[in-house]
Chains A and B, each alone.
Chain A
C-alpha cells in the first residue's frame, strides 16, 4: 500500500511569516494529492489539491507544489494569520478510491 510521511509534526511561525509543510509518498501510481485543514473538534476541510499532471497550484495565500520524480509535495502558506492555526494533513490517493493520510502538522501562528 501507500505510505505518506509528513514533516514537521509541529510548526510555529510569527504572524505574517510563511509556513511550509512537506510530504513524501511511496507509490508512484498515486495521482491525486489533497491537503486538509482540521480545527479542534471539527471535520477535515479541503483547502487545496493537486493532480499528478500538474506541478504547482495556487489559491490566494495557499500553494501546493508536486515533484513526481522525487515523490514529494509541499504546502506553502504565505502571510500567515492566527486563524491559520490548525492541524494540516496531506494525503495521497491510490487506486482511484483510497486516500492515505500523513501524520499531520500542528501549525501555530503567533500574533
Chain B
C-alpha cells in the first residue's frame, strides 16, 4: 500500500522555524497535490502540480511554498510556521487522462508547532 509515501509521519517544530515535508510516489502520476487538514475539517487544497506546472490556490498563504524536482517527489516548505499551521498535511496524486480519475492519498504528516 506504499504508493504515496510521506515523510516524516510526525513533525514537531518551533514557532517560526522552517520545516519541510516530503512526498514521494511510485505511481508515475503527473498530478501531485498538497492539502492541509485541520481537526474535524475537510482537506483544504494548498496547491497542485500538473507535471512541472505549479498551481497555487488564491488563499494559500505566502508562508507555504512547494517544490517538485521530478515526477516522483514533491516537497512542502513552511517558511515560518505559526501556531495556526498545526495540522495534518496530506499529499495526493492523480493521473490526468481521459480514463482514470482516482486521487490517491498518502498517510499524511501531522505537524505540531510549539
Chain A interface residues toward B at CB < 8 A: 32, 34, 42-46, 49, 51, 87, 89, 93, 96-104, 106
Contacts and interface: CB of A to CB of B under 8 A. Distances in A.
30 contacts: A34-B102, A34-B103, A42-B107, A42-B108, A43-B90, A43-B106, A43-B107, A43-B108, A44-B43, A46-B102, A46-B104, A49-B101, A49-B102, A51-B101, A89-B43, A96-B96, A97-B31, A97-B48, A97-B55, A97-B94, A97-B96, A98-B55, A99-B45, A99-B103, A100-B45, A101-B42, A101-B43, A102-B42, A103-B41, A104-B42
A89 B101 contact: no
Interface string B84-110: 000000100010100001111111100
Interface in B6-58: 31, 33, 40-45, 48, 50, 55
B85 to A, nearest CB: 19
Contacts of B43: 44, 89, 101
Interface residues of B, number: 22
B101 A44 contact: no
A46 B103 contact: yes
A100 B43 CA distance: 9
